[in-house]
Amino acid sequence: MTAAAPGPGPRRDHALLVEAVRAAGALAMAYRDRDFERWEKRPGDPVTAADLAVDAQLKQALHGARPGYGWLSEESEDDPGRLAASHVWIVDPIDGTRAFIDGRPEFTVSAALAVDGAPAAAAVFNPVTGELFDAVAGGGARRDGVPIRVGDAGSLAGARLLVSRTEMRRAGWLERLPETQATPISSMAYKLALVASGRFDATVTLWPKNEWDVAAADLLVREAGGRVTDADGAGFAYNRADPGLRAVVAAGPRLHEALLDRLAGIVDPAGPLA
């Protein structure tokens, strides 16, 4: 992989990231309070004018300030040139578009800087609740400036589990976790951030995700002392040619191990158990 020109350093990149994500959240809220255009990229996959406007603003703020860095976003045409960059912005301008459309306070602006395939700085902002989660690799994770830690649950009994609304309705794998307390919520990044803050114990999805759904909040959870892996226990590398992820399991270390044991063998090459 060809290194990008040296950047100004992780702390300054982190500060840029936090400022850009906050501003992007304000723009999303401005759209939320008006009649915005919406359509489907494909059946069941909504997008709005707000998604595109927030994406454009983030690209101007982040890529514009660091033109030597690559760019990977859900709402931007993929540029294969990112694969040659050591530093890459990975962005979901509105994670939880369905919640944004429906007026639920469960969407976020999520952005990370990956360096050599690993998240180095991250920010996840819920502009409705005002929660700003951020992290720097090796520097811990915070919610609104206050350090956070994952919960210490070690048993599935009573564990507070976050899942998507779709999986709450349809996912047969939840039957393998009858002793947990499952709560549906939108935005993969927000679910991971809530786990990082200890407000919930774990989140699991066995449905396909993408790097932009996970990269920023992956760093939050790990810097808060937790683990984020696929269903086989393998961690994620970022800025790959195919940004798809098969499954995501995140929790504190002891509960994460218990979840992997219970879910062993449920994801196969044909796809998740529905």
- Options 3.40.50.410, 1.10.10.10, 1.10.3720.10, 3.40.190.80; CATH for 160-263 is 3.40.190.80
Q: What is the pLDDT of residue 7?
A: 66
Is there a shared CATH topology between the 10-143 domain and the 160-263 domain? Answer: no
Tell me, yes or no, if the pTM score tops 0.75. Answer: yes
pLDDT digits (tens, 9 = 90+) for 161-203: 999 988 888 767 888 899 999 999 999 999 999 999 999 999 9
Distance of alpha carbon 48 from the chain centroid: 19
pLDDT beyond 80 at 6 = no
Q: What is the pLDDT of residue 178?
A: 93
Tell me the angle at which helices 49-58 and 10-32 cross, rounded to the nearest 10 degrees: 160
Residue 99 token pair = 């919640």
pLDDT beyond 90 at 87 = yes
> Band of the pLDDT at 267, cuts 50, 70, 90?
low
Q: What is the pLDDT of residue 3?
A: 43
3-state SS of the chain? CCCCCCCCCHHHHHHHHHHHHHHHHHHHHHHHCCCCCEEEEECCEEEEHHHHHHHHHHHHHHHCCCCCCEEEECCCCCCHHHHHCCEEEEEEEEECHHHHHHCCCCCEEEEEEEECCEEEEEEEEECCCCEEEEEECCCCEEECCEECCCCCCCCCCCCEEEECHHHHHHCHHHHHCCCCEEEECCCHHHHHHHHHCCCCCEEEECCCEEHHHHHHHHHHHHHCCCEEECCCCCCCCCCCCCCEECCEEEECHHHHHHHHHHHCCCCECCECCC
pLDDT beyond 70 at 9 = yes
Rounded to whole angstroms, how far apart are CA atoms 29 and 147? 26
pLDDT digits (tens, 9 = 90+) for 16-34: 999 999 999 999 999 988 8
Could you state, in order of their start, the residue ranges of all structural domains in the chain?
10-143, 160-263
Q: Which of 41-45, 117-121, 217-221 has the lowest mean pLDDT?
A: 41-45
CB 233 within 8 A of CB 204: no
- Options 3.30.540.10, 1.10.645.10, 3.20.20.80, 3.20.20.70; CATH for 10-143 is 3.30.540.10
